[in-house]
Each structure stands twice: as structure tokens, then as C-alpha cells.
């Protein structure tokens, strides 16, 4: 059961994606009811798996080898962490799919694609969390990024959607690649990508490669979880339809950074940099994002920044984990999933019903939407950490942990986390209050009433379930104790004290007192801001918006490419040949000049006074060179052709001197054929064509530069020929001579090489001739163009497609 | 003899490059034919100095034979070079019919401007 259940849970959504993509066109909006069973199935399977899971164990199941050469095994890891995230992904998935089925109406086109992308995303998420092989995890991890790209850009006719999708994609994929580099380093040190093999090895935590691996993987997590300095992509990803924001960008995908931190905790928590890096980045982001959440005006931006803040808290939480292991991390994550998923769905409904996205345009909706107001009140209270909600517990335990860190474990700035956490929590209370108050309380602006239409109960069902869960677990947290004990992961979690998860710790408890003070100060902060500023600023100041800087940088990339292109490109093919030749000279010339040993090794190998037999060779060579020079000097085409042929026929002699009778024969035949063909060609040209060419005087400068390039090429190729001809090598020729009779039943080694030893080469050579012949046929048989067509000009785009201006 | 061949190859390459750099397509054609020949000689030089060697035929002689492999490769190269030259000739012919020019510079000027058909 174990492996197959999880495998079905992962791959069922993928199957669903394919089915929906195929059937979607027919089903139209009914596609939603065909999408819903897939998350339900996955959720049910993972619940079953969780029930059967024995507490505190890790099961690695080797499904098969995917790419053995790379060490990429399909290894499933079932432990508390993967089951927990699996439950979150599939459970929230069920709620989101239902919510989307109510939310997406006829205003949205392509419902089939939407659900197909969502299913793809869900499969990728489940694949990521259940991976026991780091490379496998990376593959799924990047697949979530791809699915996220499609979902953010779903409303692709909007510019902001496209920009948001691109930004999210670039940030997460780039940081993902850095993570891949880190994973490579891990395997460099341990020799494996499989987590069970990695964890079973003793590793020196100060090993420099190990530290680098940690930093690179951490960057991958920071990118995915939108931590400083990558936090800017998440608010821009809010251009996606709300179900996507609620699913990917609050509850699941952005949690991958947190998941990754937990997953690598057993590997890297001993690294000295673990606490400083994670704590510094986490707490910095926590404060920045909390401030941004308070000063943003767009509903989704407020929630996006508060999500960034919550993720930052979770990452710093792992950063400050005591040596014995972390406690209650799953509770904090679960808390965030409950209230943030709920709030996203709520603002989606609010925007849907009123058409407003700016919180300043809203107000007084409690009368029109009492149920939604209640839901929001509960979730916002949970975000702020008011007692009787789950958020209270989370904050209470977090505060207690920060105290423990300060008093017991703190080796890195002991009091700082506590101070920053309190500060961030105060901000959190303020924006939670603002979110609720500005939507549902106060006076209702006129514009709201005009557009308003009431939400259905169905669309409110999913947030309602989450809100009820928030209160339920807020009141009866001890029910979860067993759940967390069961999901403990060896190497990550410390053992929980029995019955240590309960609501009421007493008044004289420092955490409770602080918690109450935070609520009071946060509320005060909100009312002070409300009274004295009236929220009149224009969102987040331009100067500190990193997304603008990012866009600026991205826009520079094509500009830079253009610059490079402009500097090396030419509009005509004739201009390219000198560039290519000059490059050839430069590259090989530099090779010869910088490796004097290449030529030095040849010293003494050539005999300068030619011996007798070579007199003929010298004579032939001289004749060839002179005839070739004749082509250059002669002005008439026919004369040039005769000189070309002389060169060709003289080379026949040269072949003979090199003991190559077969070559000599072929050369004569081919030379004769070429001569006839060129003659045929020249006979077709009118006399004036040549006359025009002769009178055209070349410029002196061009002539000189051409000569320089030509001589340069000659020198280089001559030197290379000398090197190849004299350099010691192990020729394989003798082998052919020895074996030609025995293996190929022929005495002529050249012939047997062609038709026997390397017969495939010859076959392909015939193929080349065939292609050339077909090409010639096509060129010659082409219909002659009429005068009218000639006047029209060339067919197709001119200038080899370089010309950007389309032809008329 | 390798030195001699290397010099010859160098000279031929220089001459063929010069021809290919011309604007006349006919000269470029001759340049390419010449280049193919020069390249064949360059490959041939790899089989080493032929003096004192026999033809690569296994007829029981004891003397050293020339390396048959470069010869086989060149044989292929000659034929392919012929195919390329033939295709180039046909292309030239068609270009001339369509554009009434054998000048590369003029052809590109014609094909990138609108008055491509102003054949006088």
C-alpha cells in the first residue's frame, strides 16, 4: 500500500491534467466537477497513509531508477514532514478546487486550462514533498514554478499578469538553479542524491563545500518563499485569479522554502552559518514585509506581504532551532494555512462582489455580507493572535520559544529575535485590524452599493470551513498533540512533552502577558494611524520597491544583447566573410603564437635541400601556384576557368607523387565534369554581364584589406598543414593495409575502406550527392517568372529576413 | 615534401580566400573550387612524407605503404566538393535569371531595396 498509495496520489492529478486538457473544450464550465475528484482522491490517499504511519519513522521506498547514470532515483520518502505537507497540499487543494468552481464564472475563459494547470501544480507539489532524492525533488520543484507561471499569467491579455508571471518565473527558476548547484555540491561531498544515504554519512559541518551547498540551497528556498531580497515577486504574482493566489501564493508553493528548510535541517543544522543566515534573512524580511503589509492599499498586496512575513517567521524559526530539534513548527505552518488561505478567499469574494481592489474604496460591508464578515473576523483575529483562535496558540508558543532561545540556546544575538518578533507581531495586529475594519466596518461608500451583488453560499463554504477549523483547534488544541507526535521526524523534531499543547497557560505567564500587550499596542498603532494619517499615501514608496529595480535590470538584458548584436552584425553576407576569416586568423594565430612548442617540436624534421625525387614535386607545386595566381589576374571568365582547370589537373600529378593513384583517377574525372558544367553556366550569361564586372574598379583599400586577410588565412592554414603533416601520430592506416585482404577480400586498401570498412560513410556521401542533385533540379526546374512578377520584386521578405520592415 | 606541400596549401588557401572575398559570384565559384582542392592537399599532407613508400595496395610487397585512410577521405571529399560546386553553379544560374546580376554586393543591395526589379 505504502508506495502505491502515494504514487497514485502524486500521479492522479497528472492524469487528470491530461484528461481535462483533452476533454475541456467539450465540458466548458462543467469541467470543474470533473476536476474536483482528483484532489479528493489524493487527499483521501494521503489521509489513509497518515493513519497507517507509525510515529517518528522515515520510510524510503525505492520505486525505480530514473537516470542511474546521474544518480537520479525515483525514491519516495514518507515521513511526518512529507505527510504533513501532502495533507496541506491536497486538503487545501480540495477546498480551493471547490472554491474555484464557485468563483470562476463566465467572465473567465478557458476553465479547462485553469483546472489543468492547477492539477499540474498539485502533482508537482506532491512530488516535491514526497521526494527522497534531491535531484528528483529539484525536478518537481521546478515543475511547480512552471505551473505557477501558467497560473499567474492565466489572464494573459493583461499586461500585469504577464509581467507578474515572468517575474515570478525568473526569480524562482534562477534561485532554483542555484539550489541545483547546491544539490550538486551535496552529492560531491556525500556521493549520493538519496537523502537516506546522505543522512547516514558522518559529515564535517565546517567542510567548505558543505557550507557552500547550504548557502546555495538556502537561496533556492529564499527565492521560492519570497524572502529578502526576493520578496518582490509575490505581490506581483497576485495578478493571478484569486483561487490561485490562495492556493499557490499563500498555502502551498511559497511554503516550499519553509519545507526545504525543514528538509535540510538534519543535513545542515550543524553548519555554523545556519542560525545567522536563516535568522538574519528571516527576521529582516519579517519586519520589512510587515511594514509593507501595513502601508499597502491593495487587498491582495496586504495579504501577499503578510504572507511573506509569515514565511519569514517560519524560516527564522528553523534558523533558531535548538540543538535538540524544533517543536511545534507544524502547528505554526498549519495556523498560517488556515487563516491565510481563508483570508485570500475572502478578499477574492469581496473583489468579486464589489469590483474593488483597493481597501480604501471599501467599507461597511458587514450589513451586506454578515457571514463573510464573521469568517473574516475569525481569520483576521487568528492572524493577529487573539485568544480562542488557532493563531493565539501559534503566537503564544512562538513567544515562549523566543524566550527559551534568549535564555538558553542563544549564541547569536540572543535578545534580537524576541524584540523583532514582538515588533513584527505588533504590525501584524495593526494590519489585521485594518483589513477587517476597512472592509466590513465604518460607512459604506456609494460606489460599493452600485456594483454590489451578493456572493453565493457555495463560494463562502471553503473559507467558512477554514474559519471553523481555526476556532475549533483554537479551543481544543490538545486534539492535535497526537497528530504532531505522529508526524515527528527523526533528526528534525525534538520530542514533545505529553499533553503540552493546551490553550490556557495562566495569567502569570510572560508569553501571555506579552501577547496581550502586543494586541493592545497593535490596536493602538492602528487607531493612531487611522486618526492622524487617513491612509493618504500612494502605497509603497517607489524608491524601496525592488520589483522596479528588477524590471529595470531585466529590460537591460535585451538592450545589452542588442548592443552586442549591433556591434558585430552586418546586413550583407559579403560583409561576413572577412569577419569569419579574421576570426579564424585570430583564433588559430593566437594558438600557434602562444604555443611556440607546436612549431618548435617540428624543428629538424623537414629537410631543406630537396632530394632528387622532389624536384618533380617542386616543379608541379610551382606550376599549380602560378596557375592559381592566373585566376586572380585574368579578367575574363573563360580565362579564369581555364586556369582553374589547370590547377585541378596539375593536382592530379601531385596525387600521383603522394602514391595515390585512385585519387588521381577521380580528380581527372571530376575536373573534367566541373569544367563542362562551368562552361555550360558561363555560356548562358550574356556578354554584358561580364563586361559590367570588368569595368567595376575595386577600391585600393578594399583590395589591400582583402589581400591581408587572404595572406593571413594562407599562413595559418600552411602552418597547420605543416604541424599535422609532421607531428608524430599513431596512424591507423597500416591496420587497413594488413587487414584489407583478410577481412575485405580486396588488395586495394583505399577501395576497401570506401566500400567495406567505412561503407556507411560512402553511403552518406551518395546521400549528399543526391540532395545536391535534387537541389539543382529544383533550381533549374523552377518556373520562369513573368515580367509582372519580376516587377513585383523578390518573393518573400528581402534581406534574408533581417529587414524588420515587412514588404508591401 | 611536407614542407613543400604546406607552402603550396598556404598559397592556394590565400588565393582562394582572396577570390571568395570578391564581389563577383563567378570568382567566388572559382575560389570555392580552388579551396576544395587546397583542402584536399592539406588532408593529404597528413599521410606523411611519401618518399620511399609504395601505393597502399596489399599485394605482398614488403616495402612501407602510404597511409590509405587520408586517401579514402579525400576521395570522398573530391566527390562531395563536386556536388557542392555543381549546386553552386545551378544556384548562380538561377540567381542570375532572377536578379540579372552576378555581383554579390549588387544582389544584396537589390534584394533589400524595393526597386529590385529595375532591370535596365
In this prediction, residues A149-175 reach a mean pLDDT of 90
Do the beta carbons of residue A337 and residue A278 sit within 8 Å?
Answer: no
**Taking CB atoms and an 8 Å cutoff, what residues of chain A touch B120?**
none
CA pair distance A410, A205, nearest whole angstrom? 19
Q: How much is the mean pLDDT over chain A?
A: 85
Q: Give yes or no: residues A760 and A732 share one domain.
A: no
Provide the pLDDT for residue B112: 65
Specify whether A675 is located in the same domain as A583.
yes
Gap between the Cα atoms of A313 and A289, Å rounded: 11
Closest residue on chain A to B97 (Cα): A784
Q: Do A621 and B4 touch (CB under 8 A)?
A: yes
Nearest Cα of chain B lies from the Cα of A22 at a distance, in angstroms, of: 46
Lowest mean pLDDT among A162-171, A271-280, A310-319, A600-609: A600-609
d(CA B82, CA A672): 11
Least CB–CB distance from A644: residue in B10, B30, B67: B30
* Structure confidence by residue, pLDDT tens digits, B33-63: 999 999 999 999 888 888 778 888 887 777 7
All residues of chain A having their beta carbon less than 8 Å from the beta carbon of residue B54 are 659
The C-alpha of B2 sits at a distance from chain A's nearest C-alpha, in angstroms, of: 6
What is the phi-psi region of residue B24: left when phi exceeds 0, alpha when psi lies from -120 to 50, beta otherwise?
Answer: beta
How far from chain centre, in Å, is Cα A606? 57
Q: Which of A194-203, A491-500, B106-115 has the highest mean pLDDT?
A: A194-203
A639, A774: one domain: no
The verdict on a CB contact (< 8 Å) between B47 and A707 is no
Judging contacts by C-beta atoms under 8 Å, the chain A residues touching residue B65 are 659, 733-734, 737, 749
> Grid coordinates representing A400?
515562549
A693:B68 CB<8 A: no
Query: What DSSP string describes A382-411?
Result: HHHT-TTSHHHHHHHHHHHHHHHIIIII--
pLDDT at residue A466 in the model: 92
Q: What is the pLDDT of residue A32?
A: 82
Q: What residues of chain B lie within 8 A of the CB of A692, using their CB? A: 103
In a domain, A250, yes or no: no
Range name among A324-328, A674-678, A742-746 with the lowest pLDDT average: A324-328
pLDDT on residue B78: 94
| Whole-number pLDDT of residue A771 | 94
- The shortest C-alpha distance from B16 to chain A (Å) reads 8
A748: chain B residues, CB-CB within 8 Å: 56-57
Whether B4 shows a pLDDT value over 70: the answer reads yes
Pair A101, A93: CB distance under 8 Å: no
A-chain residues near B105 (CB < 8 A): 572, 574
Query: Binning pLDDT at 50, 70 and 90, where does residue A58 land?
Result: confident
Q: Identify the DSSP state of A111.
A: H
- Which residues in B lie closer than 8 A to residue A741 (C-beta atoms)? 58
Q: Is A575 left (phi over 0), alpha (psi -120 to 50) or beta?
A: alpha
Of B5, B24, B97, the CB nearest to A725: B5
pLDDT the model gives residue A124: 94
Mind listing the pLDDT tens digit for each residue in A305-351?
999 999 999 998 888 887 777 888 889 999 999 999 999 999 999 98
Cβ within 8 Å of residue A52, ≥6 positions away? A1, A2
Q: Closest to A717 (Cβ–Cβ): which among B42, B44, B57?
A: B42
In this complex, do A629 and B55 lie within 8 Å of one another by their Cβ atoms?
no
Identify whether residues A741 and A761 lie together within a single domain: no
A537 is a domain residue? no
pLDDT given for residue A607 in this prediction:
57
Q: Is A729 exposed, middle or buried (0-12, 13-18, 19+ CB in 10 A)?
A: exposed
Domain end marker among A746, A762, A778:
A746
Say whether both A755 and A673 belong to one domain.
no
Of A617, A677, A750, the CB nearest to B1: A617
| A-to-B residue pairs, Cβ atoms closer than 8 angstroms | 302
Q: Which of B6, B70, B75 sits opposite A754 (nearest CB)?
A: B75
Task: Verify whether the Cβ–Cβ distance A720 to B55 is below 8 Å.
Answer: no
Facing residue for A632 by CB, picked from B10, B15, B84: B15
A741 and A752 in a single domain? The answer is: no
Contacts with B81 from chain A: Cβ below 8 Å: 670
CA torsion angle A292 A296 A302 A305 (round to 10): -20
Beta partners for B57? A748
User: Which of B6, B2, B30 shows the shortest CA–CA distance to B18?
Assistant: B30
Q: Are A454 and A369 in contact (CB under 8 A)?
A: yes
Instruction: Give the up-direction half-sphere exposure of residue A494: CA atoms within 13 A in the CB hemisphere.
Output: 14
- Calpha distance B4→A629 (Å, rounded): 17
Hey, what's the cell of A744?
575485405
Residue A578 within a domain: yes
Q: What is the pTM of this model?
A: 0.70
Bigger pLDDT: A405 or A715? A715
Distance between CA A93 and CA A46 in Å, rounded?
13
| Chain B positions in Cβ-Cβ contact with residue A721 (cut-off 8 Å) | 2, 5-6, 9-10, 41-42, 45
The answer to whether B34 touches B13, Cβ cutoff 8 Å, is: no
Q: Domain check: are A594 and A665 in the same one?
A: yes
At A271 the three-state DSSP class reads coil
Query: Do the Cβ atoms of A776 and B6 come within 8 Å?
Result: no
pLDDT of A360 higher than 60: yes
Give the ranges where A104-241 is alpha helix by DSSP (H). Answer: 111-129, 134-152, 159-190, 195-199, 208-224, 233-236
A692 assigned to some structural domain: yes
Residue A123 CA to its chain's centroid (Å): 17
Tell me how close the Cα of B45 comes to any Cα of chain A, in angstroms.
5
Q: Is the pLDDT of residue A379 over 80?
A: yes
CB contacts of B40 in chain A (<8 Å) are 651, 663
- Per 3-state DSSP, chain A is made up of helix, strand and coil in percentages (nearest 5) of 75, 5, 25
Rounded to whole angstroms, the Cα distance separating A424 from A292 reads 11
Residue A149 reports pLDDT greater than 50 = yes
- Please answer whether residues A177 and A152 qualify as being in contact, where contact means their C-beta atoms are separated by less than 8 angstroms: no
Q: Are residues A612 and A755 in the same domain?
A: no
Whether omega for the bond prior to residue B54 falls within 30 degrees of 0, making it cis, is no
Q: Is residue A453's pLDDT more than 90?
A: no
Residue with the bigger pLDDT between A792 and A5: it is A5
Q: Do B55 and A659 touch (CB under 8 A)?
A: yes
Residue of A58, A77, A491 whose CA lies nearest to A265:
A491
Domain membership flag for residue A82: no
How confident is the model over A466-488, as pLDDT tens digits? 999 999 988 888 888 888 888 88
Are A725 and A661 in the same domain? yes
Cell of B42: 592539406
Q: Please state the rounded mean pLDDT for residues A546-571.
A: 84
Distance from CA of A650 to the nearest CA of B (A): 11
How far apart, in Å, are the Cα atoms of A214 and each of A185, A286, B8, B98? 9, 21, 61, 65
Name which of A522-526, A542-546, B35-39 the model is least confident about. Answer: A542-546
Residue corresponding to grid cell 460599493: A448
Confidence of residue A385 (pLDDT cuts 50, 70, 90): confident
Q: Are residues A633 and A714 in the same domain?
A: yes
Report pLDDT for A499: 76
- Cβ of A772 within 8 Å of Cβ of B84? The answer is yes
The answer to whether the beta carbons of residues A289 and A305 sit under 8 Å apart is yes
End-to-end CA distance of chain B: 54
Distance from CA of B81 to the nearest CA of A (A): 9
Are A256 and A223 in contact by the 8 Å Cβ rule? The answer is: no
Q: Which residues of A touch B49 (CB under 8 A)?
A: 725
Backbone Cα Rg of chain B: 20
| A613:B14 CB<8 A | no
Q: Tell me the chain B residues in contact with residue A588 when contact means C-beta distances shorter than 8 Å.
A: none
Q: Which of A218, A140, A129 is nearest to A179 (CA)?
A: A218
Is A750–B72 a contact, with Cβ atoms under 8 angstroms apart? yes
Is A394 a domain residue?
no
- How many angstroms away from the CA of B62 is the closest CA of chain A? 11
CB contact under 8 A, A658 and B44: yes
* Shortest distance, CA B31 to any CA of chain A (angstroms): 9
Which residue range is the domain that position A784 belongs to? 747-794
Q: Are residues A648 and A753 in the same domain?
A: no
Residues on chain B touching A689 (C-beta within 8 angstroms): 96, 101-102
Residue A743: its chain B contacts at CB < 8 A? Answer: none
| Count of all residues that appear for chain A in the document | 808
Same structural domain, A751 and A656: no
Q: What is the pLDDT of residue A251?
A: 81
**Highest-pLDDT range among A403-417, A438-452, B13-27:** B13-27
Q: Is residue A655 domain-resident?
A: yes
Distance of CA A281 to the CA centre of its chain: 23
- Nearest-neighbour CA in chain A from B32: distance (Å): 10
Label residue A603 by pLDDT band (50, 70, 90): low
Q: For residue A593, what is its C-alpha cell?
A: 603564437
A798/B116 touch (CB, cutoff 8 Å), yes or no: yes
- Chosen for mutation from A569, A629, A703, A749 (greatest number of chain B CBs closer than 10 Å) is A749
Across the interface, whether the CB atoms of B6 and A719 are under 8 A apart is answered yes
Question: What's the number of domains chain A is made of?
Answer: 2
Q: How far is B51 from chain A (nearest CA, A)?
A: 8
Chain B residue closest in CA terms to A609: B1
B32, B69, B70, best to mutate vs chain A, most A CBs in 10 Å: B69
Question: Nearest CB to A666: which of B10, B75, B108?
Answer: B75
DSSP-derived secondary structure for chain B: -HHHHHHHHHHHHHHHHHHHTSSBHHHHHHHHHHHHHHHHHHHHHTT---TT-B-SB-SS--SPBPPHHHHHHHHHHHHHHHHHHHHHHHHHHHHHHHHS--BHHHHHHHHHSS-TT---
pLDDT at A808: 42
Which residue, among B111, B71, B117, B10, has the nearest Cα to A714 in the 3D structure?
B10
Identify the structural domains of chain B with CATH numbers, from first to last: 2-50+66-119 (1.10.287.3510)
Q: Is A536 helix (H, G, I), strand (E, B) or coil?
A: coil
Amino acid at each position: 500500500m505504502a508506495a502505491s498509495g502515494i504514487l497514485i496520489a502524486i500521479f492522479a492529478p497528472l492524469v487528470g491534467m491530461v484528461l481535462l486538457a483533452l476533454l475541456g473544450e467539450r465540458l466548458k464550465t462543467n469541467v470543474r466537477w470533473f476536476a474536483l475528484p482528483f484532489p479528493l482522491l489524493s487527499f483521501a490517499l494521503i489521509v489513509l497513509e497518515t493513519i497507517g504511519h507509525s510515529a517518528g519513522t522515515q520510510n524510503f521506498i525505492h520505486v525505480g531508477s530514473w537516470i542511474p547514470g546521474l544518480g537520479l532515483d525515483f525514491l519516495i520518502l514518507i515521513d511526518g514532514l512529507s505527510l504533513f505537507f501532502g495533507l496541506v497540499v491536497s486538503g487545501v487543494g480540495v477546498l480551493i478546487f471547490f472554491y474555484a468552481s464557485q468563483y470562476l464564472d463566465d467572465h473567465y475563459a478557458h476553465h479547462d486550462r485553469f483546472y489543468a494547470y492547477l492539477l499540474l501544480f498539485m502533482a508537482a507539489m506532491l512530488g516535491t514533498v514526497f521526494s527522497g532524492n534531491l535531484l528528483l525533488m529539484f525536478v518537481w520543484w521546478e515543475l511547480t514554478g512552471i505551473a505557477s507561471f501558467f497560473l499567474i499569467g492565466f489572464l494573459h491579455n493583461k499586461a500585469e499578469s504577464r509581467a507578474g508571471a515572468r517575474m515570478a518565473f525568473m526569480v524562482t527558476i534562477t534561485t532554483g538553479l542555484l539550489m541545483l548547484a547546491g544539490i550538486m555540491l551535496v552529492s560531491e561531498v556525500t556521493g549520493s542524491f538519496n537523502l537516506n544515504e546522505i543522512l547516514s554519512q558522518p559529515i564535517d559541518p565546517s567542510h567548505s563545500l558543505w557550507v557552500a551547498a547550504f548557502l546555495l540551497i538556502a537561496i533556492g528556498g529564499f527565492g521560492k518563499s519570497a524572502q529578502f531580497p526576493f520578496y518582490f515577486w509575490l505581490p506581483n504574482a497576485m495578478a493571478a485569479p484569486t483561487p490561485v493566489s490562495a492556493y499557490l501564493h499563500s498555502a502551498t508553493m511559497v511554503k516550499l522554502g519553509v519545507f526545504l528548510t525543514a528538509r535540510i535541517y538534519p543535513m545542515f543544522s550543524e553548519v555554523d552559518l545556519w542560525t545567522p543566515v536563516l535568522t538574519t534573512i528571516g527576521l529582516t524580511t519579517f519586519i520589512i514585509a510587515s511594514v509593507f503589509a501595513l502601508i499597502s492599499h491593495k487587498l491582495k498586496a496586504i495579504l501577499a506581504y503578510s504572507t511573506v512575513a509569515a514565511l519569514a517567521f517560519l524560516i527564522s524559526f528553523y534558523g533558531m532551532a535548538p540543538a535538540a530539534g524544533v517543536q511545534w513548527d507544524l502547528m505554526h505552518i498549519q495556523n498560517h494555512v488556515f487563516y491565510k488561505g481563508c483570508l485570500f478567499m475572502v478578499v477574492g469574494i469581496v473583489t468579486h462582489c464589489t469590483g474593488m481592489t483597493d481597501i480604501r474604496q471599501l467599507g461597511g460591508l458587514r450589513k451586506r455580507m454578515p457571514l463573510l464578515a464573521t469568517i473574516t473576523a475569525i481569520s483576521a483575529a487568528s492572524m493577529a493572535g487573539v485568544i480562542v483562535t488557532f493563531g493565539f496558540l501559534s503566537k503564544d508558543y512562538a513567544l515562549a520559544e523566543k524566550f527559551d532561545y534568549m535564555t538558553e540556546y542563544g549564541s547569536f544575538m540572543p535578545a534580537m529575535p524576541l524584540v523583532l518578533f514582538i515588533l513584527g507581531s505588533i504590525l501584524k495586529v495593526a494590519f489585521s485590524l485594518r483589513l477587517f475594519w476597512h472592509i466590513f466596518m465604518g460607512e459604506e461608500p456609494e460606489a460599493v452599493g452600485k456594483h454590489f451583488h451578493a456572493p453565493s453560499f457555495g463560494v463562502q463554504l471553503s473559507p467558512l470551513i477554514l474559519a471553523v477549523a481555526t476556532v475549533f483547534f483554537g479551543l481544543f488544541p490538545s486534539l492535535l498533540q497526537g497528530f504532531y507526535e505522529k508526524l515527528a521526524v527523526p533528526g528534525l523534531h525534538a520530542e514533545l512533552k505529553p499533553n503540552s499543547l493546551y490553550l490556557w497557560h495562566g495569567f502569570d505567564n510572560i508569553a501571555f502577558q506579552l501577547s496581550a500587550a502586543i494586541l493592545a499596542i497593535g490596536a493602538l498603532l492602528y487607531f493612531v494611524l487611522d486618526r492622524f494619517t487617513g491612509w493618504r499615501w500612494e502605497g509603497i514608496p517607489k524608491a524601496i520597491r525592488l520589483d522596479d529595480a528588477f524590471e529595470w535590470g531585466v529590460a537591460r538584458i535585451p538592450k545589452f544583447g542588442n548592443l552586442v548584436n549591433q556591434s558585430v552584425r552586418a546586413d550583407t553576407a559579403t560583409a561576413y566573410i572577412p569577419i569569419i576569416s579574421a576570426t579564424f586568423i585570430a583564433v588559430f594565430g593566437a594558438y600557434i603564437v602562444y604555443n611556440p612548442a607546436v612549431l618548435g617540436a617540428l624543428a629538424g624534421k623537414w629537410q631543406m635541400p630537396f632530394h632528387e625525387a622532389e624536384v618533380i614535386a617542386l616543379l608541379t607545386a610551382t606550376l599549380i601556384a602560378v596557375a592559381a595566381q592566373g585566376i586572380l589576374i585574368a579578367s575574363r571568365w573563360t580565362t579564369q576557368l581555364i586556369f582553374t582547370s589547370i590547377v585541378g589537373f596539375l593536382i592530379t600529378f601531385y596525387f600521383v607523387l603522394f602514391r595515390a593513384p585512385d585519387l588521381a583517377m577521380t580528380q581527372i574525372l571530376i575536373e573534367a565534369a566541373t569544367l563542362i558544367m562551368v562552361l555550360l553556366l558561363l555560356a548562358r550569361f550574356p556578354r554584358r554581364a561580364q563586361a559590367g564586372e570588368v569595368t567595376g574598379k575595386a577600391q585600393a583599400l578594399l583590395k589591400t584589406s582583402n589581400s591581408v586577410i587572404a595572406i593571413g588565412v594562407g599562413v595559418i592554414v600552411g602552418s597547420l598543414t605543416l604541424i599535422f603533416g609532421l607531428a608524430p601520430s599513431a596512424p591507423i592506416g597500416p591496420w587497413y593495409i594488413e587487414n584489407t585482404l583478410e577481412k575485405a577480400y580486396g588488395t586495394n586498401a583505399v577501395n576497401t575502406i570506401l566500400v567495406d570498412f567505412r561503407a556507411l560513410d560512402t553511403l552518406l556521401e551518395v546521400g549528399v550527392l543526391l540532395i545536391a542533385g535534387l537541389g539543382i533540379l529544383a533550381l533549374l526546374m523552377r518556373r520562369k517568372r513573368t515580367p509582372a512578377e519580376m516587377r513585383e520584386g523578390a518573393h518573400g521578405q528581402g534581406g534574408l529576413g533581417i529587414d524588420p520592415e515587412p514588404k508591401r | 615534401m611536407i614542407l613543400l606541400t604546406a607552402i603550396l596549401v598556404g598559397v592556394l588557401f590565400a588565393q582562394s580566400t582572396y577570390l571568395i572575398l570578391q564581389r563577383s559570384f563567378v570568382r567566388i565559384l572559382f575560389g570555392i573550387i580552388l579551396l576544395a582542392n587546397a583542402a584536399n592537399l592539406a588532408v593529404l599532407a597528413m599521410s606523411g612524407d611519401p618518399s620511399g613508400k609504395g601505393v597502399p595496395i596489399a599485394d605482398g610487397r614488403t616495402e612501407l605503404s602510404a597511409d590509405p585512410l587520408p586517401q579514402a577521405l579525400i576521395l570522398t571529399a573530391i566527390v562531395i566538393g563536386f556536388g557542392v560546386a555543381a549546386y553552386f553553379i545551378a544556384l548562380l544560374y538561377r540567381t542570375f535569371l532572377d536578379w540579372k546580376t552576378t555581383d554579390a554586393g549588387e544582389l544584396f543591395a537589390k534584394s533589400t531595396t524595393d526597386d529590385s526589379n529595375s532591370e535596365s
